[in-house]
Amino acid sequence: MPKPKFKQRCAICKNNMVIMYSYRQFPICVDCHMKQINQEIEDPKMKKFFDHPKSLYEKSSFLRNIKQAYIRFGNLSEKQVEAFKKTVKDLKNPKKEEVDMSDESENNKTGEKSSSKLDGKSDKKSDGKNKLNKEVTNDNKEKKKNPLGPFQSMESVLKATVN
């Protein structure tokens, strides 16, 4: 998820603050959004599709937006349906990723090396990043050596300002 940029008051109730991630995002708080999507769905297939606990909708603005789009337009694309199912699955089972991450950190704490280092293979991406970081620091050092920029001495700076 992108980093929050600023807070803005809800455009509907004007009481609650909403964390905004983009200038194109409509500022609506969770309470007002939940009121909008609590409408009855008539299609039995879609009614079953959207039948999830209220807490999931409160956690994810994406789920609320998909349900609101269905209420507004009456249908969803295949990609919207797939993304909705995947998001619900991820929200219901978040521990799977956390367990994997904690296993890796426990291995590092006990002093075990990762499999790629044991094989003698180096990570090309990290090597490339290290080279870029070294180049950037070298450029910064060069800039610090000559703080006057194109002028070679203080006298040339004074001559340029007088003329």
Q: What token pair was written down for 10?
A: 């809800």
Residue-number span of the structural domain to which 150 is assigned: 121-163
Indicate if 129 and 82 belong to the same structural domain: no
Instruction: List the one residue out of 56, 4, 64, 2 whose CA is nearest residue 37.
Output: 64
Ranking 33-47, 116-130, 146-160 by mean pLDDT, the lowest is: 116-130
Q: Provide the pLDDT for residue 23.
A: 87
Render pLDDT for 61-89 as a digit per residue (tens, 0 to 9).
999 999 999 999 999 999 999 999 999 99
- Does 105 reside within a domain? no
Q: How confident is the model at residue 129 (pLDDT cuts 50, 70, 90)?
A: low
Instruction: List the one residue out of 39, 41, 13 whose CA is nearest residue 27.
Output: 13
Render pLDDT for 50-62 as a digit per residue (tens, 0 to 9).
999 999 999 999 9
- Does 55 reside within a domain? yes
Indicate if 18 and 86 belong to the same structural domain: yes
Instruction: Looking at 60-94, list the stretches that DSSP marks H as alpha helix, in order from N- to C-terminal side.
Output: 61-73, 78-92
